Amino acid sequence: MADAAFLALTVITIGSAIAALELRSLIYGSIALMGTLGGIAGFFFLLDSPFVALFQLAVYVGSIAVLILFTVMLVKRELIFKAIEDKRRKFAGIGLMLIVMVALGAVFLDSGIKTITTDDPPVDFRDIGTDFVTYYWPALILMGLILAGSVTGALVLAKREDVENDQRTS
């Protein structure tokens, strides 16, 4: 049964990743990106990692995808539907994609990864919580500071300079 779910998730994830890059409208593209991110969350469920899957759903599908949608809506209407791409590079890009896929895929298929299977029970999410507050606590604090700094930086960057103070308050 897991195999059918795996195949379905693979089709959804890869199909919507291609759609996110190739659909003409940026709005539909960002909705397709949501499909990719949700598909990855499904893979996390299949890998017995419900905590990471829910984190992925909350952070990626819930906030990042909506943030991208709102940014797309700020862009001019004709730019949303205009395909801006290097025509000359299209075939080179497809070739590069195929080379990466074939080369890395051959390396993985030829390596010992194929023989790795597991019957061990999945990692308990309580262990992850324990890891966070014991071993990784400096990294956790640093991550919080980086997040706060980057969000503040993003707000400062996006602030309009040309609006005068009196206009802003009125």
Contact positions with other proteins (CB under 8 A) in 113-142: 113-114, 116-118, 120-123, 125, 127-128, 131-132, 136, 139
Q: Which residue has the tokens 């909350």?
A: 58
Rounded least distance, CB 168 to other proteins, Å: 16
> Cα dist. 26→33, 69, 106 in Å?
10, 9, 34
Q: Is residue 38 close enough to count as binding other proteins by CB under 8 A? A: no
Cα angle value 34/42/96 (rounded, 5°): 65
Tokens describing residue 44: 């996390």
Rounded least distance, CB 164 to other proteins, Å: 16
Q: Is residue 155 close enough to count as binding other proteins by CB under 8 A? A: yes
16 SS3 class: helix
Q: Which residue has the tokens 């906030």?
A: 63
Q: Is residue 168 close enough to count as binding other proteins by CB under 8 A? A: no
Q: Which residue has the tokens 């299949």?
A: 46
Stretch 58-87 residues interacting with other proteins (CB under 8 A):
59-60, 63-64, 67-68, 71-72, 74-76, 79, 83-86
Q: Is residue 12 close enough to count as binding other proteins by CB under 8 A? A: no
